[in-house]
Structure 1
Amino acid sequence: MSGICITRGSGQTIINYRPVVRDFLNFRFTDGEVSLAQLRAVDVTDFVQKAISRLNMRRAKIITTALRSFLSYVRFRGDITSDLAAAVPIVANWSLSSIPRAIGRDEVTRLLASIDRDTPVGCRDYAMILALARLGLRSSEVVSLELDDIDWVAGQIRVRGKNGQRNDLPLPADVGEAISDYLPKARPRNADRRVFLRDKAPIRGSKGPSGLGSIIRRSLKRAGIESPTKGTHQFRHGLASEMLRGGASLGEIGEVLGHRHLQTTAIYAKVDLDALRTLALPWPGEAQ
C-alpha cells in the first residue's frame, strides 16, 4: 500500500477499514507494486467472494462497506477512472439466512461427565451447565435465578427472560437434583438470594453472563471438546434442535425458549430438512 494513505473518516472507521483495504491490495498485487489504474471489476468481485465466504453477516458487511468506501475515495483522487465501487457485491441480509450452531447431545454428555462434582466449583458448574442444556436458558437467565424462583413442591422454575418477561417452566428432575445437591453442599453461606454464587471474593451472584461464558470455555477445553462455538447459546440451540427432531412444533419450542414471536423460532426449521419438508405447502397441481 505504498503511497496510499487512508485518512478520511473517524478513527474507529479507519481502524476497521484499513485491514480490508490492505487485504484487497495484497490479493490483487501480491508482493508487487500497487498500481490502482490496473484494477478491474473482476478483481473486486473475486476478492469479495473469497473474503466473505466464511464470515458472519456483520463482518461481511464491514468488508463490502470498507471496500466500497476505498474505491470511491481513490476514484475521487483520480487514481482510477471507473466506478469500481459499483462492482462491490451487496451482501443480502436475508431473514433466517443463518442456521444456529448447536452443540450435539453426545458432546453435552461428555462435557457434563468431565466435571468433578465432588468439588464446590464443579458442583456449581455442573448444575449451571445442566440448566443451560436441559432448559435451554440464556446465560443471563441462569445467573439471575434466585432461590425464590424455584418451587420445589410444584416442580417449577420461574425464569426472568428478556424485557422483564417471566416464564414458569417445569423443573426437570436431573436439574432439580443438581441444584439441590449444590445448595447445601457447595453454595457459600451468604445473604445474596441468587442461586449460583461466585467462588471467589466478593462472594455474590454474578453481575452479568460473562462469568458463565468463562465457565463454559474452561469446561469445553478441559473436556477436549471442539464445539461449534465457545458460548452458552450453543446449548439453547442444541435443545431446540433436539426438540425439533423429536417432533415438537415450532410453537412448543418457542414456548420453552421464551420466544415472543414465531419468526424467532422459525430459524430452527432449517436445522432439520425432514422437519422443514413438513412445513412446505404442496406445489399447485400436485397430486394430494
Structure 2
Amino acid sequence: KYFTKMSTVDRYQGSWMGAGIENYVVWLAGHDYKDRCIWSRVPLVFAFGEFASSRGATAIDELPALVDAFVEFRVADQHRRTGSTRSMAKEIRGPVEQMLSIVLPGFEPTGRRPFAEPFAEAVPGFFDYLSRERGLRPLTVHTYRFSLDHFADYLGRIGVDSILELSPSILSSYMVDRAGAGLAKSTVRGDAGALRVFLRYAHREGILASDLSAAVGWPQVYRLSDIPRSISWADVNKVLAGVDRRDETGRRDYAILLLLVTYGLRGREIAALTLDDIDWKRERLAIPERKAGHSTAFPLSWVVGEALLDYLRHGRPTTDDRHVFFRSVAPHRPIGSAAISSRARHYLLKAGINVPRPGAHTLRHSAVQRLVDANFDLKTVGDFIGHRSARSTEIYAKVDIESLRLIALGNGEEVL
C-alpha cells in the first residue's frame, strides 16, 4: 500500500524484525497517520533493526538496550552527511520508541511522562483530600500539582531532602525565589496559596510537628488594579482574516476563534464541547459545565454554525469520540485547553496584535468588551460569560469609555 517497489517491500518484510515493522505500519495506518509520515518512519525503524542485528541482537526484547547507541550513531551520521548542527535525536528516538511500544508489551517510551504527584510518599493522600474533602475540580487539583512541583524542584536545588527539614526561612526564601522569576503577582499568590493548604494538611495529618503555613507570605494583589486584555473589533477581524480555511487545521481554528469572540467562552469550555451540545434543530449551543458550576444555552449564531459545519464535514477526523475538536495530526485525540490558547496566540501574533499575554482570554475579553460597548449592564454581561459573581465583571467598567467620559465631565460641564 505504501511502497510501490516490490524489492523495497521484500527488503522490509525479509528483515529479522519484519513482522514487528508490519505491525507498526498497521498501527500507524489505524491511527490515521499520513502516508508521508509512514514513508519516513518505516526506513528508520528498518535501519534500527539492521543496526541492532549488527550489534548481535536476535530478539525483539533485546532492542531497548540499543536505542541510545542507535540514536547517537544516526545523529553523528546525519551531521557528517549534511553538515547540520541541529540535534536530530528527538526525530530519531521518537519513531523507534513508538515502534517498540507497539510490538514489545510493557515498553514505555522515554518521552513525556505522566504528571507525577509531588510529595506523594512524604505526604500521602493530599490530592485525594483536595478532590474528596474540598471538592475541587480536576483542573484546580492540577494547578496544585503544578505549584507543588515547583516547590519540590526548589527544595532539590537547595539540598533539602525531606519536608521535615522545612523552616520559616526556607519557605520565605522560596517565595522570594518565585517572586524574582518574573511571574505575575497573581501567579505567585496562587503558588503561595497552594503551599499554605499543603502545609496545613501535613500538620493536620501529624507529618509536620507545627503548622508552617503562616510563614508563607504572598504579594498583595488588589482587585481591579489591571484592565482586561481586550483588542478592538477591527483587530478581531484581522485575526479572523489571517486563518487559512483551505485545510482541516484552518477550518478547526476558525471555528474555535469564532466561539471565543462570539460567546466569550473559555478555552477549557471549548475543549469540552461535544456533538451533543449542538442542537441544530433548535439552533442552540449548550455549555453544560462552566467554571461557576452552572450551564448556559446560547442561540447558535449562523456564522458560528456555518464554521462548525464546515469543520465537521471537511476537517474533523472520523471517530466514535463525541468531542467536537481534535488534533489535526495523528494520533487524533480531543484538543486540550492549552492547545486552544496556543492557537489563539498564534493568530494574534500572526496578525501583528500587540497585547500582554496573548491567548484565548484575549479574545474572550474582546467579546465582553463588545457587550460593554453596546451598553449592556454588567449583570447581563456577567451572566452571558459565566461569571459567578457580579464583582468579577466590575473590571470591565474601567474600559467603558463613554461612561467614564461622562463622569469626568462632571455636573454641567458637558454643556460646555
TM-score, normalized by the shorter chain, greater than 0.5: yes
Q: 1:134 aligns with which of 246, 262, 269?
A: 262
1:268 aligns with 2:404: no
Whichever residue aligns with residue 195 of structure 1, its letter is: V
Cα distance per residue 1:19-49 (max 9 Å; x no partner): 978x9xxxxxxxxxxxxxxxxxxxxxxxxxx
User: In 2 relative to 1, CA 61–175 (structure 1 residues): closer, same or farther, beyond 3 Å?
Assistant: closer
Verify the 8 A CA contact 2:179 2:188 in the aligned structure 1.
Answer: no
In structure 2, the residue matched to 1:124 is 252
Contact 2:240 2:257 survives alignment (8 Å):
yes
**CA-CA distance at 1:147 after TM superposition:** 0.4
Query: 1:150-191: CA deviations, max 9, x gaps?
Result: 111211100131154211111111111100111011111011
| Partner SS state of residue 112, structure 1 | helix
Q: Secondary structure at the match of 1:169?
A: strand
Check conservation: 2:279, 2:285, Cα contact below 8 A: yes
Measured in 2, the distance between the counterparts of 1:194 and 1:127 equals: 14
Aligned equivalent of 2:57 = none
**Once the 2 structures are TM-superposed, how far is the Cα of residue 204 of structure 1 from its aligned partner?**
2.0
Q: What's the counterpart of residue 344 of structure 2?
A: 216
1:95 aligns with 2:223: yes
Q: Is the 8 A contact 2:292 2:386 kept in 1?
A: no
Tell me how far apart the structure 2 counterparts of residues 16 and 227 of structure 1 sit (CA, whole Å).
28
Contact 1:102–1:228 (8 Å) recurs in 2: no
Alignment deviations for residues 55-76 of structure 1 (CA, whole Å, 9 cap, x no partner): 85437979xxxxxxxxxxxxxx
Distance (Å, rounded) in 1 between the aligned partners of 2:177 and 2:272: 41
1:110-189 map, 5 Å: 110-159=238-287, 160-189=289-318
Q: Which has the larger radius of gyration?
A: 2
Q: Does 1:17 align with 2:203?
A: no
Matched, 1:107 2:107: no
Q: Does 1:195 align with 2:338?
A: no
Report how many residues are paired: 218
RMSD: 3.3
Larger RCO (CA within 8 A; separation ≥ 6): 1
- Mark the runs of 5 or more structure 1 residues left unpaired by the alignment: 1-6, 24-50, 63-89, 284-288
With over 3 angstroms needed to count, the CA separation of the structure-2 counterparts of 1:270 and 1:201, relative to structure 1, is same
Contact 1:103 1:228 in 2 (8 A): no
Displacement of 1:200 after TM fit?
1.8
The alignment partner of 2:223 has SS state of coil
Relative to structure 2, which stretch is displaced further, 143-152 or 156-165?
156-165
1:189 maps to amino acid = T
Larger helix proportion, structure 1 or 2?
2
Identity of matched residues, %: 36
Q: TM-score, normalised by structure 2?
A: 0.47
User: In structure 2, what is the Cα distance between the partners aligned to 1:220 and 1:156?
Assistant: 28
**8 Å contact kept, 1:245–1:275:** no
Segment of structure 1 superposing worse, 185-194 or 160-169: 160-169
